[in-house]
Amino acid sequence: MSFVEIVRPDTNIDFIGKWQIAVGVSVALIVLSVLAIPVRGIRMGLDFAGGHEIQVKFTEKLPDHEGSVRAVVEALGVAEPTVVRFGDEGMTDFLIRFGGEEGKQGEVADALAKALGERIGPVELERVGFVGPKVGAELQSAGIKAIGIACLLILVYIGFRFSPRYAPGAVVALVHDIVVTSGFFVILGYEFDLTVLAALLAILGYSLNDTIIVYDRIRENLALHTKHDLEEVLNRSVNQTLSRTLLTSGTTLLAVLALLAVGGPIIRPFALAMVIGIVVGTYSSIYVAAPMLLVLERRFGGAPDKPAHKARKPARA
């Protein structure tokens, strides 16, 4: 089966020959991401840090008053509240989230409703809730465990699907993607919540898919070109899958860019994480996962295992 090609079949870009430069770029990004944590600090969302969640409804149609609602909340002494309007222009429902002490939900909600009524217009309390710090800590721990378990299962899967020699490169690429994406979020000052955690898990799967496509072509080419050295085979494989990699990344990127543009404030952090993750994941499948095979071969000797059967001629990518 043939499909659209955006890269010539005879393209021969020396990706693997630049692996040392790529390592320098990746290390710099990881160091920058790690250093951003103590410098900028991680902003945990309500899901992880705990706090108040109050939904209000104004009884009259309003223009865009998110800024006015936020100003009223901040005037009550609340730092960095999250204010989200539901629906289209003129809708009157707002979700207000901010940190605070447990047990004071009713008092806080009444004070907020009074202030909004005086400053903006008549308002009704639709819902008042509180996420305790214990629940938030449990969610945070569960999220970290989910990412760790996913990486472990991927390590096992790659080991069985290809050979143990392929597994470290895939996992290093995935860890690279998660750390760099998280680092960008810290630098940009976005909150980490459950939607961002969902995006990070989606990035794991997306990046793994790119890596498996490259690894599958590497395995086929190792069987077809037994007299070529590993660096040449790796470079040939990355070039052969370049069209597929760029097409897959490009089409997915267009979809999440649309979400980022029109998805609203609730979905925006998820979409932004996906945009960063897709770009970083595409880079890592070419410049991290594949070169890791070369590094392991030079360090420990022996090329990655070849399939026992005679490989079919690989389809054009």
Lowest-confidence segment of 97-111, 213-227, 258-272 by average pLDDT: 97-111
pLDDT digit string, tens, across residues 153-205: 888 888 888 888 888 888 899 999 999 999 998 898 888 888 888 899 899 88
Q: What is the reported pLDDT for 133?
A: 67
Q: What is the reported pLDDT for 2?
A: 47
Sheet holding 51-58, edge to edge: 82-85, 93-98, 51-58, 123-131
How would residue 122 be classed by pLDDT, with cut points 50, 70 and 90? Answer: confident
For residue 48, give the nearest of 172, 138, 144 by alpha carbon.
Answer: 138
- Residue 227 pLDDT more than 70? yes
Strand segments (E) across 18-177: 43-44, 51-58, 82-85, 93-98, 123-131
- Residue 120 pLDDT more than 50? yes
How would residue 103 be classed by pLDDT, with cut points 50, 70 and 90? Answer: low
> Phi and psi for 101 in degrees, rounded to 5?
-90, 145
For residue 43, give the nearest of 105, 98, 112, 108 by alpha carbon.
Answer: 98
- Residue 272 pLDDT more than 90? yes
CA 22 to chain centre: 20
- Averaged confidence pLDDT in the chain: 81
Contact 73, 83 (CB under 8 A): yes
Q: What is the reported pLDDT for 130?
A: 77
At 310, list the tokens: 């005679």
Distance, in Å, from the CA atom of 175 to the CA atom of 164, rounded to the nearest integer, reads 18
Domains of the chain: 16-43+135-300 (1.20.1640.10), 51-131 (3.30.70.3400)
- Residue 241 pLDDT more than 60? yes
